[in-house]
Structure 1
Amino acid sequence: MSGSEKSKAFLYKKYYGYIMAIVIRYMKHEMESEEIANECFVKVFNKISSFSIHEDSEILEKTFRSWMGKIAVNTAIDALRVRKQMLMLDDLNGSDTLHYAVDNGSKLEYQDILLLIQQLPEIQRTIFNLYEIEGYSHEEIGKKLDIPDSTSRTYLTRAKQKLRKLYAQQFNLINIQS
């Protein structure tokens, strides 16, 4: 194995979990997430010469992770676009817009939250992730997804309402069983 191949193997092993954690927020199925994560690494390896190396190792680590994270987000969104399942129509009806109170005192684990997010319609899940987790503005989301800013805001509101509803259903289910 050449030095270059060893370096790639090292990066893959070190950052696979990080990339997978980003990608799985956008995709519904783990197998699909694994494929997208691997595609991310192909892009990272192909574009690594364009990454600016900082002399301070701590800053280098942060900027490299951030750079790879953006590649992961963009690759996941591109995959959603290619599948052409980002239809602007989703399964909302009037009852989905009711407000549900969420108990802030509950202790949801990361996996519980991820499962709730994965139950959102694809467009809502994507916008929720971009805005709430990745920190993109509605304007940036609009450009990235080729939708108006107002549509991004609407889908984010619907995603939050749906998450509250899903949380309430899960919480009630847990109380009934105990």
Structure 2
Amino acid sequence: MDEQLDKLDLRLLEELQKDGRLTNNELGERIALSPSQCSRRRTRLEAEGYIRSYQANLDRQKLGLDMLVVISVTLATHNRDNARRFSQLINGLPEVLEAYALTGEMDYHLKVATRGLAGLSHFVNDVLLPHESVQHVKTSIVLDTLKTFEGFPVPMSHVGMATA
């Protein structure tokens, strides 16, 4: 952390995470600060990288991306060049919503959104499997979503943080 976060900073982050479109006036009403103080704090939190970006949360199903899949991938060889090639592939695929390098049995888990089984088949058979870095792919279709990402937990008390 560049600068200690106080309780007002943390409340500001929590509120913006719920609704990034809040004006400084609205934000000030929610956390009991003046709009100018909210603006200064927001600008500082953006500059320090606590707030990375603002974006709209779209409805994947309304966009026709009705299939959500978790795909486990094992690389053909385990070396830096192969991992870099796989990373470049994944970063160029808009269907991949999230990708994680793992310890354990599989090398990567991908969260992928496609248009039905045909979209999934194309993604696996025509994109992933033919790639030189990939040895094995295992797909798991998501049947139901129990919880989606709604934001990071913002700690209201933390050792070493200044208080408001």
With the shorter chain as reference, the TM-score category is under 0.3
Instruction: Name whichever structure is richer in strand by fraction.
Output: 2
Larger RCO, structures 1/2 (Cα 8 Å, 6+ apart): 2
TM-score (norm 2): 0.27
TM-score (norm 1): 0.25
Instruction: Name whichever structure is richer in helix by fraction.
Output: 1
Q: Quick check: which has more Rg, 1 or 2?
A: 2
